[in-house]
Amino acid sequence: MSGTKLLPPIPEDRYSISGGYSPDSPLYLSADPEENCLNCYQITTSDFFQSTDTFSLHITYNTLKEQLDALVTDAVLVQGDVEWYKKFEAWSLVWKLCVLPLLCYQYDAFRAGLIIQLVKDSINLKEFGNLFRKISMSRDVSETIMHCLSRLVKGVRLSEIDISAYSKNVVPRKLIVPVELPRFEQFFYVEFKNKKASEYELGNPIEVTIEIESLNQTWGQNGLAGSFVFEVASSNEWLVHGKKRMRIPSEKSEVHLHIIPLKRGYLHYPKVDIINIDSDEPSRIDYTNYYDTLLVF
């Protein structure tokens, strides 16, 4: 694989996409399910996400067989000999149609040590020789091809420079995969806002305002997608005083209450939960204070 790119639907200016993958050298992947290539894209929009939009994932690749055929042709057979290539050109179709399809490579040898080697007993050199004589191929061309095949039986080691240079001659394939946005999930933004104080003391209540905002408009959804209950949990660090459990009435809501520190030191804000009443499942929350702490003396 030589690269991937995610393209937005038309009109393209609605979305901004980052995260395209373009390795310096081709990435080799086998059919082994343990081998994979994970690449993440970040999609942002100046408008809102439409659940019906379909993106296009463009994957540029070649099979290893195609790459090795090209390397054998350019790096092992021709080797930059322009004068010989002029003689070979008249017989290039024989090479492409009658020789290359019969070459079976040891792919592990190439991936491990950049060695191009044929599978043992996979070709019969005498049969190729008979074919070339039968079609009256020029001796200079047939002898060079036979020498090339003999080298491949033993194994030919290439340098990374050769592989990088000659691989550029391979015409890439392109696979286009339609990508749909994930189904809409109710997503909330939650932020604790408290009156700043010079210091916070053990047992003294702290007045806080909790802002709750539904982010469903970002996904082109209007209104809440169900009935939701917001809850602030007490713990061994905080005692929550006030309306700590309530049904969320609208897309933007505020909760006013007091939190009382029960310990000294750096304390994280209380845990919050938003539960979907219909399914009894927790909703996704962007809790902006999740990693914030208050120093209590």
Both structure tokens of 293? 């702490």
**Architecture of the domain whose range is 187-296:** Sandwich (2.60)
Q: Where are the domains of the chain?
A: 3-63+172-180, 64-167, 187-296
List of residues 6+ apart from 280 with CB closer than 8 A: none
For residues 196 and 294, the answer to whether their CB atoms sit within 8 Å is no
pLDDT tens per residue, range 5-24: 999 988 778 888 888 888 87
- Give the DSSP H or E segment for 128: helix 125-134
> In Å, how far are 49, 105, 218, 221, 285 from 215, measured between CA atoms?
11, 54, 6, 9, 10
Spatial separation of the C-alpha atoms in residues 64 and 98, rounded to whole Å: 19
Both structure tokens of 284? 């996704």
Three-state SS at 74: helix
> In Å, how far are 18, 26, 41, 169, 178 from 2, measured between CA atoms?
17, 5, 17, 13, 19
Spatial separation of the C-alpha atoms in residues 257 and 254, rounded to whole Å: 10
What pLDDT is stored for residue 216 in this prediction?
73
Spatial separation of the C-alpha atoms in residues 251 and 274, rounded to whole Å: 13
What pLDDT is stored for residue 25 in this prediction?
75
- Give the DSSP H or E segment for 177: strand 173-180
Average pLDDT per 10 consecutive residues for the chain, totaling 297 residues: 88 84 80 79 81 87 90 89 89 91 90 89 88 89 91 89 81 90 77 85 92 77 74 90 87 90 92 83 83 90
For residues 110 and 67, the answer to whether their CB atoms sit within 8 Å is no
What pLDDT is stored for residue 104 in this prediction?
92
- Give the DSSP H or E segment for 193: strand 187-194
What pLDDT is stored for residue 219 in this prediction?
65
Pairing outcome for strands 3-7 and 54-61: antiparallel
What pLDDT is stored for residue 2 in this prediction?
83
